[in-house]
Amino acid sequence: MQAAEAAAQTATAGVQAAQAQLHTAQVNESYAVLRAPVDGVITQRNNSIGDVVAPGQSVFSMDVPHLQVYVAISETELPYVKAGEPITMTVAALPGRTFTGHIFEIDPAPIPGNMTEYRVKATLQDTSQILKPGMNGNVTLHTAATSGAELSIPTMSLQQVSGVYGVYVMGNNPEKKGQGQGQAPGGAQGASVAVSQVPAQVDQNLPVDVYFQPVEIGYQGNQYVEVTSGLHAGEKILLGVGRFISPGTAAN
């Protein structure tokens, strides 16, 4: 009985070894087949049968109706970008032309060597086939509204003091007037400015017509940031650190 069990175990081990060898052979065989990632037409063959190629070396060139474009976005923009959202692209070499497409994949890991950026992949529609692989362009990601904000300001105007986001506004400070609300240009009501919201570190010796206004923000990009509350369209803000200006300084 023991001899039979030992023989069965030996046979099982032999089957497992054969299966492992088969898997290795199948993997090696797959390396002999080149598969294009998308449908297209081969326009150039760069190697001949029997040539030895290195990893990453181009073997064929293809002309495809749907090109792919890669875009690097910062980690702060990542939560607002979703697969399926539309994009538009312009190319300096093709002035006056705008190409459309959709995001189909967002890499789950950051770009190697840059731990704060992620690669977004999108397909481009070009029925005229005027776009060529390797061209560079400017891509706009049309993300869905996330915060409902209708106001955006230059990122360089946003300041953070003691963990409170805010901007330096040109105008009469409602709190200095003892009023709960200010009057924004055009007759619109300005946002309330609670004294407790303004950090103590804010310089109290600011010019009389400049004050720190706390704001709440939404999407924050490289050039612009959404403001969800605290400001109204038409208010004038300083592009920079307003607490470093002194009375009498000209500001535009």
Delineate the domains of the chain, giving CATH numbers in brackets: 63-141 (2.40.30.170), 151-244 (2.40.420)
Q: Which amino acid is at 248?
A: G
pTM of the model: 0.47
pLDDT at position 17: 92
109 DSSP assignment: S
What is the block-wise mean pLDDT of the chain (252 residues), using blocks of 10 residues?
Answer: 83 91 89 76 86 82 79 86 92 92 92 90 85 87 66 88 88 61 38 48 68 86 83 86 59 58
| H helix runs in the chain, sequence order | 2-30
- Determine the pLDDT at residue 41: 81
Instruction: Tell the residue number behind the tokens 């470093």, with chain if given.
Output: 244
Predicted local confidence at residue 193, as pLDDT: 39
pLDDT score of 2 = 79
Measured distance CA(252)–CA(250) in Å, rounded = 7
